[in-house]
Amino acid sequence: MKRIPLHRYACSFSRLFSMAVLFLPIILMSSTVTTAQKMKAEDVIAKHLESLGPATARADEKGRVAVGTAKASFKARNAVGSIDGRAVLASLDRKAMLALAFNSPTYTGEKFGYDGKKFTIGYVTPGRRSALGLFILQNGEIFKEGLMGGTLTSSWPLLRLEERGAKLEYSGTDKINDKSVHKLSYQPKKGSDLNITLYFDATTFEHVRTQYDRTISSRMSGGGIDAQARQQQTRYRLTENFSGYKKEGDLNLPHTYTLQLETTQTNGSTLDKWEADLTQFLFNQDIDEKGWDVEAN
């Protein structure tokens, strides 16, 4: 029998190994694409609801309240500042309220309320709303749809999607803090000027982020091409992040809630951020109906 020198085996193995390394990314990419193609919006939603807790716990609920500490930080060009305060989220069916309160004469905080029909926003000082308040006022579907606050509120739209009539589409995968996530685009029944994207952990299917994007062009004045060249755009990105999921009662809920508004223009940008560390959850609470109207409080 003819013997083949060992160095020839080594060369053959080397060539096979090189080919495997070359084609491995293609194989992995193909596998990822196939998985993404198989995943549907309804699959993500079903697994997400399972991650929240039993169906009976998700449906059988009265008033819910979450309370904790809050921190607000603001960055405009070279100016930076932060203050500490309190956070409260309350909900009952499709009614919801979010309050971020701070002991400051120039910034008392944020208040948003929805009683199922009427949406109200508080003032940071008498007669003046914040940039966040104005943005949500102009895009009221953020609160009316039950999106704001995510799974922290009983008004979370994925709990009663058929009632909402919203359209959700699977938008592939992405990464947040090096963790894979599934993306769903959310379109309210009555439409929206916002691009709304929901993010879910690819392993646990917990809701980890909602992102709202909108670009607004300033109106052109007379002057033709020169005026058009000077036309400015304002880009808004409002992001809600949810983490620290732990069991509260029979539900799996986030304990860290971060809200961030980034505004970008040609002459600069601002970044406002609110962080809430939620430490107390109360269920089956009797909530005063007047509490949903934050302008009256």
Q: What is the pLDDT of residue 217?
A: 82
Q: What is the pLDDT of residue 189?
A: 93
Q: What is the pLDDT of residue 272?
A: 94
How far is 212 from 238, CA to CA, in rounded Å?
Answer: 5
**10-residue averages of pLDDT along the chain (297 residues):** 43 42 43 56 97 90 92 76 93 95 91 95 90 95 96 95 94 96 96 96 98 83 47 90 96 97 89 96 91 86
How far is 129 from 110, CA to CA, in rounded Å?
Answer: 9
Closest CA to 93 of 164, 14, 165: 164
- Could you say which architecture CATH assigns to the domain 38-59+66-76+84-289? Clam (2.50)
What are the Cα distances from residue 262, in Å, to 73, 140, 207, 213? 12, 18, 21, 10
Place of tokens 């934050």: 294
Q: What is the pLDDT of residue 19?
A: 42
Per-domain boundaries in the chain: 38-59+66-76+84-289
